[in-house]
Amino acid sequence: RAAFFGKVSNDALGEIYAHDIHAQGVAFGTTPLKGEPPTARSMIFVTPDGERSMNTYLGACVELGPEDVEADKASGAKVTYFEGYLWDPPRAKEAIRQTAKLAHAAGREVSMTLSDSFCVDRYRDEFLDLMRSGTVDIVFANSHEIKSLYQT
């Protein structure tokens, strides 16, 4: 069964998100944030040739912290996946590191996405360290992100 660690606010979008993710059979038990900031949102536009443009507001996601990690789910997942954008908020970074330790201690794999070339530019050294140290086993990226990572 799939599980999701994330943060929504106690607002209409958060309720819709929690309802819809549960309806798909995904375990999602993180306590909603009371008050501000509101639940995240993202507008994504894809051109016919496959290029995309995004406008994202992270909202409640920035409040994700180590206390939101469910150890049994982190250690029980065959593969844990995290979003590179969540490397921005310091507490979310702590949660990701904690989740990776739990997953590896249980012999599981950890994967990540580089998110976008701007995110890679901000965290190039840290992302490379995650890969070189074995914290991350699998990386999802497009050609722009890989070129940014290796500055080619």
CA pair distance 75, 114, nearest whole angstrom = 23
Burial class of 86 by CB neighbour count within 10 A (0 to 12, 13 to 18, 19+): buried
pTM of structure? 0.83
Write phi, then psi, for 53 (nearest 5 degrees): -130, 135
Residue 99 has a pLDDT of 94
**Residues 80, 85, 86, CA angle at the centre, nearest 5°?**
60
Length of the chain: 152
Asked if the model's pLDDT at residue 1 lies above 80, the reply is: no
Tell me if 79 sits within 8 A of 138, measured CB to CB: yes
pLDDT tens column, 38-67: 999 999 999 999 988 989 898 999 999 999
Residue 21 has a pLDDT of 94
For residues 106-132, give the mean pLDDT.
95
Spell out the domains of the chain, with CATH numbers in brackets.
12-150 (3.40.1190.20)
Tell me if 116 sits within 8 A of 141, measured CB to CB: no
Rounded to the nearest integer, the mean pLDDT of the chain is 93
